[in-house]
Amino acid sequence: MDKNAEIAEKTERLTRMLAAEGLGGVVLTAQPNFAWLTAGGSNGIDTSREQGACALVVRADGKRFVLASRIEMARMLEEELSGADFEPVEYGWEEEKASPTFLADLSTKVLGGGVALGSDLPLGSNVKAIDGAVSRCRYQLTPPELERFKQLGHDAGEVSGTVARSLAPGVTENEIARRVTDALAARGMRSVVTLVAADERIAKFRHPVPTEKSWERVVMLVTCARRQGLVASLSRIVCAGEISEELRRRMDASARVNAKLLAATRPGAVGSELYRVAADAYAAEGFPGEEHKHHQGGAAGYRTRDWVAHPASTETVQNNQAFAWNPTVTGSKAEETCIASAEGVEVITKSPDWPQITVPVEGRVYTSPDVLAL
């Protein structure tokens, strides 16, 4: 499947969604959705914002437009949309700044006026916010996306493993974070989430933003690495010297919870059911209630998590959908990214030669990253 065929398939998904929603068109401004529809392009300039620097509009009949200011249009057409069939609609940046409803008004005009309009991000009271419906169009990965995602996972796992193996006690969390982000960048990836926890911070904080604290005994590295819009998440733990019995016990428990989640992640499984799988697994391991201390992860793709498993979740697992589970027994964590299908899950972020914990579930063996003893 070439780029235009991939874009055409995704456009068809959007037109079916528009018909179901009773809408005449949809505006996509969120950076994950731009990357998805363009087969890996980017409208991100200021990445601190969800909204990108230009918008894509898809009409109910499948006609596609790109709306961009004079600042952005030339580069978008040459570098992000080259060879793709999007009709350009250029405007002055001053026009956009002058009216809070400019983008909605322009999109309605482009579609011919008098049509019901939806958008992935709020554009005003006259535009229906349908981010959930748009997101569900993304969930099933196309064959080219699967290839890109698997290569991303391979590269992110390789980089994270190499950096982790190079560490020596005394290095600060901030320095470790710099090494991770630099090494990923050298392979065309950007770490959109970078967490590092030294020693007691692993147990104290589930989201340990890096500090100037130096590690001495145990350190955990976490990255959500993005390339061409797709995001692969993984965690690695390194120990200087022998692994303590308590860390061993907790790491093994996290791996067994992870194995139960991986085994249950099959097309048709419901988010609330997967949450219950994790909760029951923690209790069986002698750590009841751990599910309340951190979310367990969930569907991945063009966001770090498209949805997380929780007691009220009605989302269902799709064929060829990405997942990143991250079970944590306080002081330990097991996290990889995988692809779910009817044949079972395929973990795509393994680090070469990294120690693994193997757990059999219902006749199949599942692996999780173990602690690396230096």
Q: Is the pLDDT of residue 113 over 90?
A: no
- DSSP code at position 303: S
Q: What is the pLDDT of residue 1?
A: 64
Q: Are residues 200 and 131 in the same domain?
A: no
User: Are 93 and 176 found together in one domain?
Assistant: no
Whether 48 shows a pLDDT value over 90: the answer reads: no
Burial 182-208 (b: 16+ CB within 10 A, else e): ebbeeeebbbeebbbbbbebbbeeeeb
Tokens 């596609």 label which residue? 64
Mean pLDDT along residues 336-354:
97
Is the pLDDT at 130 greater than 80? The verdict is yes
Question: Which pLDDT belongs to residue 47?
Answer: 85
Domain-terminating residue out of 88, 112, 138: 138
Is there a single domain that holds both residue 99 and residue 208?
no
Stretch 5-18: mean pLDDT, rounded? 97
The predicted-structure confidence for 233-263, as pLDDT tens digits, reads as follows 999 999 999 999 999 999 999 999 999 999 9
> Model pTM?
0.96
> Which residues constitute the domain of residue 20?
3-138
pLDDT score at 211: 98
Position 339 pLDDT exceeds 80: yes
Q: Which residue has the higher pLDDT, 113 or 84?
A: 84
Q: H helices within the chain, ranges in order?
A: 3-21, 31-37, 73-75, 93-98, 102-110, 131-138, 143-165, 173-185, 201-204, 245-264, 271-284
Q: What is the mean pLDDT of residues 9-38?
A: 97
Same structural domain, 163 and 241:
yes
pLDDT at position 96 = 86
Give residues with Cβ within 8 angstroms of 270, minimum separation 6.
Answer: 313, 314, 315, 316, 317
Give percent of the chain with pLDDT exceeding 90.
95
Cα–Cα distance measured from residue 240 to residue 242, given in angstroms and rounded to the nearest whole number: 7
Q: Residue 361 pLDDT more than 90?
A: yes
DSSP H helical ranges for 25-83: 31-37, 73-75
The last residue of one of the domains, among 106, 138, 170, is 138
**pLDDT for res 324:** 98
Residues 214, 172: contact at Cβ < 8 Å? yes
Average pLDDT, the chain: 96
The pLDDT of residue 97: 87
pLDDT digits (tens, 9 = 90+) for 317-329: 999 999 999 999 9
- Nearest Cα neighbor of 296 from 270, 266, 333, 263 is 333
DSSP state of 351: P
Residues 167 and 117 placed together within one structural domain of the fold: no
Q: What is the mean pLDDT of residues 131-144?
A: 97
* Pair (286, 359) in one structural domain: yes
pLDDT of residue 230: 98
Q: Are 253 and 198 found together in one domain?
A: yes
CATH no. for residue 346? 3.90.230.10
What the block records as the tokens of 175 is: 């320095």
For position 337, what pLDDT does the model report?
98
Q: 14 near 5, Cβ under 8 Å?
A: no
Identify the residue with better confidence: 6 or 114. 6
Which of 138, 170, 204 terminates a domain? The answer is 138
| pLDDT score, position 172 | 98
Q: What is the pLDDT of residue 125?
A: 84
Interval 284-308: pLDDT, tens: 999 999 999 999 999 999 999 999 9
Query: Both 133 and 154 in a single domain?
Result: no
Burial class (CB in 10 A: 0-12, 13-18, 19+), 115: middle
Express each pLDDT in 164-212 by its tens digit. Answer: 999 999 999 999 999 999 999 999 999 999 999 999 999 999 999 999 9
pLDDT at 237: 98
- Region of 51 please: left (phi>0), alpha (psi -120 to 50) or beta: beta
